[in-house]
């Protein structure tokens, strides 16, 4: 019995040695969860409107003139007649009190000065003066125009923060163009780093209040690229479609691309051709290039190499690199001049 146990023990030891030791269970794996990104943004409230004192100084009343009695003449034989005293100099007339104007009248005087109309001499400084008074009286278009003048540096130095403040006042009263200008300021780097969340907010307000296709186009870009919000091709398609139907040419091209890719829209090369064609007919060189490429490949339309090359040459002559590269691929000898186009 002892011999059998010894044999079994030896066999087990041999197996352990052959296997190379006990097999260990794998360690549990842990997935790394990144922290959330900061994304809180503050709404900027418009500052209180400036107050302008338009009261005229008090008028001075002229002092009464004293009347002296006429001296009794003496006989000429006794002494000479006294010399007459000089008359006192008249005091200057008081300055006339400046008339009061309504906000609309102040705005009109500013517009005349800005354009040099209505008998007024063209002067940005005068326009700035009258519109500042009109804006302080609550005139919403004057507030918007002052924002434009501070943004462009007309009659004053460029000041994007002052422009923003005037746009905020006008947009707070529902003026759509002011909301669109706020979107431009926040979309670019005029106030520092771009704030796409703020830009999108003001573009949405502008689009809700008026027919502003560029604001709609920018909203399409914001949603398509995921700027300041999650990427959403369907919302991008919605805004590009609105902008295209309102006549914005670049939105027509982008709408064609979404149809051709089936990205955010039902795949339809035929609808893509329709929008490329409309954009090209309105002068879009990119629309010409995309349409020419489609004709060359017979994509969504009957193949027509002659028409394709004509469209591509027109876009290439305008300096569009995309069309120049396509032409070089079509004929490397004829279009050798585009060989190094990046």
Which comes out higher in pLDDT, residue 49 or 317? Answer: 317
- Average the pLDDT over 13-29 and give the result: 34
CA–CA separation, 154 and 161 (whole Å): 15
Is the predicted pLDDT of residue 8 greater than 90, yes or no?
no
- Whole-number Cα distances in Å, 270 to 201, 277, 302: 34, 11, 11
pLDDT confidence of residue 223 = 97
Angle at 329 between CA 328 and CA 334, to 5 degrees: 40
Query: Is the Cβ–Cβ distance between 331 and 314 less than 8 Å?
Result: no
pLDDT confidence of residue 71 = 55
CA–CA separation, 243 and 206 (whole Å): 13
* Exposure string over 120-135, b if 16+ CB within 10 A, otherwise e: beeeeebbbbbbbbbb
CA–CA separation, 141 and 149 (whole Å): 12
Put simply, whether the predicted model's pTM sits higher than 0.75 gets the answer no
pLDDT confidence of residue 62 = 41
Task: Using pLDDT thresholds of 50, 70 and 90, give the confidence band for residue 83.
Answer: confident
What is the three-class DSSP state of 168? helix
What are the pLDDT digits (tens) for 185-244? Answer: 999 989 999 999 999 999 999 999 989 999 999 999 999 999 999 999 999 999 999 999
Tell me which residue of 28, 95, 22 sits closest to 56, measured CA to CA: 95
CA–CA separation, 246 and 215 (whole Å): 11
Task: Using pLDDT thresholds of 50, 70 and 90, give the confidence band for residue 10.
Answer: very low
**H-helix or E-strand spanning residue 312:** helix 305-317
Tell me yes or no: is domain 101-210 CATH 1.25.40.10: yes
Handedness of CA 332, 315, 248, 198 (dihedral sign): positive
pLDDT confidence of residue 110 = 95
What is the three-class DSSP state of 214? helix
Tokens read off for 94: 């008081």
Angle at 144 between CA 143 and CA 149, to 5 degrees: 95
| Residues in Cβ contact with 226 at an 8 Å cutoff, skipping those fewer than 6 apart | 232
- Whole-number Cα distances in Å, 275 to 218, 220, 244, 249, 266: 18, 16, 9, 9, 14
Tell me which residue of 149, 175, 157, 156 sits closest to 46, measured CA to CA: 175
What are the pLDDT digits (tens) for 140-194? Answer: 999 999 999 999 999 999 999 999 999 999 999 999 999 999 999 999 989 999 9
pLDDT confidence of residue 68 = 55
- Average the pLDDT over 253-278 and give the result: 96
Tell me which residue of 222, 226, 212, 220 sits closest to 181, measured CA to CA: 212
Which comes out higher in pLDDT, residue 65 or 277? Answer: 277
What are the pLDDT digits (tens) for 95-154? Answer: 777 678 999 999 999 999 999 999 999 999 999 999 999 999 999 999 999 999 999 999
- Average the pLDDT over 247-268 and give the result: 95
For every residue of 39-106, DSSP letters joined together read: ---PPPPPPPPP----PPPPPPPPPPPPPPPPPPPPPTTTSPPPPPPPPPPPPPPPPPPPPP--HHHH
Query: Is the Cβ–Cβ distance between 194 and 188 less than 8 Å?
Result: yes
Least confidently predicted of 1-5, 57-61, 337-341: 57-61
Query: Is the Cβ–Cβ distance between 69 and 111 less than 8 Å?
Result: no
pLDDT confidence of residue 76 = 54
What are the pLDDT digits (tens) for 30-81? Answer: 332 232 322 222 332 322 222 222 333 333 334 444 545 555 555 555 566 6
Task: Using pLDDT thresholds of 50, 70 and 90, give the confidence band for residue 86.
Answer: confident
Task: Using pLDDT thresholds of 50, 70 and 90, give the confidence band for residue 88.
Answer: confident
Query: Is the Cβ–Cβ distance between 110 and 125 less than 8 Å?
Result: no
Is the predicted pLDDT of residue 18 greater than 70, yes or no?
no
């Amino acid at each position: 019995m002892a011999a059998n146990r010894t044999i079994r023990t030896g066999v087990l030891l041999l197996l352990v040695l052959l296997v190379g030791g006990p097999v260990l269970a794998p360690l549990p794996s842990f997935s790394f969860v990144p922290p959330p990104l900061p994304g809180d943004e503050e709404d900027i409230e418009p500052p209180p409107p400036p107050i302008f004192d338009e009261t005229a100084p008090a008028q001075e009343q002229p002092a009464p003139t004293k009347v002296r009695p006429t001296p009794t003449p003496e006989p000429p034989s006794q002494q000479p007649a006294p010399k007459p005293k000089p008359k006192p100099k008249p005091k200057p007339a008081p300055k006339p009190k400046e008339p009061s104007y309504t906000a609309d009248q102040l705005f009109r005087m500013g517009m005349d000065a800005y354009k040099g109309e209505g008998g007024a001499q063209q002067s940005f400084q005068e326009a700035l003066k009258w519109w500042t008074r009109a804006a302080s009286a609550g005139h919403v278009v004057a507030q918007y125009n002052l924002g434009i003048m501070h943004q462009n540096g007309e009659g004053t130095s460029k000041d994007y923060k002052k422009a923003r403040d005037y746009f905020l006042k006008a947009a707070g009263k529902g003026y759509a163009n002011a909301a669109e200008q706020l979107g431009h300021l926040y979309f670019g780097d005029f106030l520092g780093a771009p704030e796409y969340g703020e830009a999108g907010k003001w573009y949405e307000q502008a689009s809700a209040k008026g027919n502003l296709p560029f604001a709609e186009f920018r909203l399409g870009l914001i949603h398509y690229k995921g700027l300041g919000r999650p990427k959403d091709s369907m919302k991008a398609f919605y805004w590009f479609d609105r902008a295209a139907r309102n006549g914005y040419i670049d939105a027509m091209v982008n709408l064609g691309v979404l149809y051709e890719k089936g990205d955010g829209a039902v795949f339809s090369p035929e609808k893509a051709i329709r929008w490329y064609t409309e954009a090209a007919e309105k002068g879009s060189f990119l629309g010409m290039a995309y349409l020419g490429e489609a004709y060359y490949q017979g994509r969504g339309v009957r193949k027509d190499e002659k028409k394709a090359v004509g469209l591509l040459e027109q876009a290439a002559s305008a300096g569009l690199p995309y069309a120049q590269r396509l032409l070089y691929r079509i004929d490397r000898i004829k279009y050798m001049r585009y060989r190094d186009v990046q």
